[in-house]
Amino acid sequence: MQYNPGWNSSSVNLLHVWAAGPRDSLHYVWSSIGAPAVLLVATQSPSSALRVNWTQLLSPSPAGAIWIDPPDSVVYSTAVVFTKLFEFSEAKPSGELFYPTYDLAEFSWDSLNHTLNHTALTAELSGVPANDPGGGFSNGSLAFRVTAYEGQGREGRLPSLLHTADSSQLEFLLAGVAPRGNSSRFVLEVATVEEAGAVRRLRSQRSIDDEYTPTIFEVSEGWPRAGGDPAVLPCPHPVPPQVLSLVAESQNGSSTLGFLQWKATAYGSRHPRREDGIQCRAQGLQVANWTLPVSSIVQAYFGDSLGSTCTISALNVSFGGEEGEVYQEKRYLSWSVLLGFGEPPRDTFSPLVISITAVALGTPLAMLLLGSCLVLLAQRRRYSEYEPIN
Ligand SMILES: *[C@@H]1O[C@H](CO)[C@@H](O)[C@H](O)[C@H]1NC(C)=O
Ligand SMILES: *[C@@H]1O[C@H](CO)[C@@H](O)[C@H](O)[C@H]1NC(C)=O
Ligand SMILES: *[C@@H]1O[C@H](CO)[C@@H](O)[C@H](O)[C@H]1NC(C)=O
Ligand SMILES: *[C@@H]1O[C@H](CO)[C@@H](O)[C@H](O)[C@H]1NC(C)=O
Ligand SMILES: *[C@@H]1O[C@H](CO)[C@@H](O)[C@H](O)[C@H]1NC(C)=O
Ligand SMILES: *[C@@H]1O[C@H](CO)[C@@H](O)[C@H](O)[C@H]1NC(C)=O
Ligand SMILES: *[C@@H]1O[C@H](CO)[C@@H](O)[C@H](O)[C@H]1NC(C)=O
Ligand SMILES: *[C@@H]1O[C@H](CO)[C@@H](O)[C@H](O)[C@H]1NC(C)=O
Ligand SMILES: *[C@@H]1O[C@H](CO)[C@@H](O)[C@H](O)[C@H]1NC(C)=O
């Protein structure tokens, strides 16, 4: 982890995290110059290096200020930009009332230098709007907490995302920010940049591992009341939590190049427990036909191709369902997402779930075996009652 490599001021933030393997190396470049963004570059050289021309990066035309040396070692690069935070309330009688948008490109960010932990491989980028007429941020802040990993495993904190050595976790935190409505909900807009040849797709799957995430009760209709009453009662039934992946695939679909992966839950507590879960929904992925905010590292790296051959896709992630008052009450929201290269990790059954399943499946099986034995014994005994008469 390197903070502002080659620059001795902490007025801007650029964090370089890299992982070197025997044949390749990966670079993550996090920055708050412009809108908060991360650049992900995979190279096929174990010694590829990040180069930054700082005078150019901090100039009004940063194109070309960030590159990887040697340039031909780059096999895949992408970027993720956190552009906007929307806030709205359900307005009576119908519709949604949107409050003025928080544009993350117009935030002022603290130096993350003092939050760097080289042991835990974490850093936190925290900011408030540069101009906050409503004073909503006077007691709060918006932050992105980055965690890099040295090996594969599962994050200890909920939502306990699985990770690999070449992925990083990002936690979006909204703490203490005063909501502008009585039942405000927040929506985070996330944009991705892909070069020619790659496309983003949203995949959704049900997690099979229930131990780590709250079960969301979905209300469905169609359970007839006893007695044949045709009236239907909404009946909550548990559904496994959803795991969403925004994957980058090669145009011909032959390989997965990178991903963002998250569970459909955010948390309303600093020390998240399952009962603090807040529903989180992804709205459709859109090809964004707008120019990105002047997120300098993205422009600095992709240069002019940003406006021509690159595709920008964006999606909204909303927090809170019908329980709109959760944020009002807790004034805390955290949402975790894993970023990485290649295929996203897949949940397998955890030992606890396996043992529960084993007990659940095993008990009837044992009963069945025991039952058969008893029947056999009983039959033996019955036969023995009819001893040969000879
Ligand atoms: C970051 O912090 C370290 C230790 O506190 C300090 O030595 C270094 O100069 C700081 N870097 C910048 C760019 O401010
Ligand atoms: C930062 O670096 C510049 C030149 O690169 C130098 O002139 C300046 O004195 C340095 N500032 C500090 C605080 O080290
Ligand atoms: C950095 O960029 C500036 C402006 O484009 C250029 O004049 C300068 O030579 C560059 N520095 C290096 C070391 O490439
Ligand atoms: C860094 O993280 C480790 C492990 O979480 C912790 O024990 C240590 O106190 C942290 N260091 C700092 C400076 O916060
Ligand atoms: C900020 O906190 C102070 C003291 O806790 C409180 O009096 C004030 O109303 C809060 N302001 C906002 C905007 O929530
Ligand atoms: C919020 O609730 C208070 C009291 O319940 C009410 O007076 C106020 O009009 C509500 N504000 C909005 C924006 O709904
Ligand atoms: C898909 O495209 C990649 C390069 O974009 C190429 O290397 C690969 O062979 C292609 N696969 C198929 C099945 O066409
Ligand atoms: C995107 O915007 C440009 C100009 O802003 C326009 O020419 C083009 O038709 C738009 N494309 C789509 C798919 O809407
Ligand atoms: C996200 O939601 C806001 C507010 O409804 C909308 O203006 C924006 O276009 C949406 N963005 C995407 C990528 O759908």
Per-domain residue ranges of the chain:
2-218+235-347
Q: State the Cα–Cα distance between residues 315 and 89, nearest whole angstrom.
A: 20
Name the pTM for this structure.
0.82
Tell me the CA end-to-end span of the chain in Å, nearest whole number.
93
Ligand nearest to the CA of 290: 8
Reported as a pLDDT band with limits 50, 70 and 90, residue 181 is: confident
The predicted pLDDT at position 322 comes to 66
pLDDT by residue (tens digit) across 146-161?
999 988 888 877 787 8
Q: Which CATH architecture does the domain made up of 2-218+235-347 adopt? A: Distorted Sandwich (2.70)
CA of residue 36 to ligand 3 center, whole Å: 24
Is 138 a pocket residue for ligand 5 (Cβ < 6 Å)? yes
Atom 2 of ligand 5: nearest residue by CA position: 139
CA of residue 67 to ligand 3 center, whole Å: 13
Mean pLDDT of 314-327: 80
Reported as a pLDDT band with limits 50, 70 and 90, residue 202 is: very high
Q: State the Cα–Cα distance between residues 77 and 285, nearest whole angstrom.
A: 20
pLDDT at 2 over 90: yes
Is 178 a pocket residue for ligand 5 (Cβ < 6 Å)? yes
Phi, psi of 57 (to 5 degrees): -60, -40
Residue with tokens 């995302």: 161
pLDDT at 215 over 50: no
CA of residue 132 to ligand 6 center, whole Å: 22
Q: State the Cα–Cα distance between residues 181 and 173, nearest whole angstrom.
A: 19
Atom 14 of ligand 1: nearest residue by CA position: 10
Mean pLDDT of 25-29: 96
CA of residue 176 to ligand 5 center, whole Å: 9
Ligand nearest to the CA of 66: 3
On whether the CB atoms of residues 278 and 10 are closer than 8 A, the answer is no
Mutate to test the pocket of ligand 6, among 97, 99, 182, 328 (most ligand atoms within 8 A of CB): 182
CA of residue 287 to ligand 9 center, whole Å: 12
Q: What percentage of the chain has pLDDT greater than the value 90?
A: 51
Q: Which atom of ligand 4 is nearest to the CA of 120?
A: 2
pLDDT by residue (tens digit) across 120-148?
999 999 999 999 988 899 999 999 999 99
Atom 9 of ligand 1: nearest residue by CA position: 8
> What is the pLDDT of the chain when averaged over all its residues?
82
Is 11 a pocket residue for ligand 1 (Cβ < 6 Å)? no
| Higher-confidence position of 243 and 363 | 243
CA of residue 293 to ligand 3 center, whole Å: 24
CA of residue 113 to ligand 1 center, whole Å: 6
The predicted pLDDT at position 328 comes to 81
On whether the CB atoms of residues 78 and 248 are closer than 8 A, the answer is yes
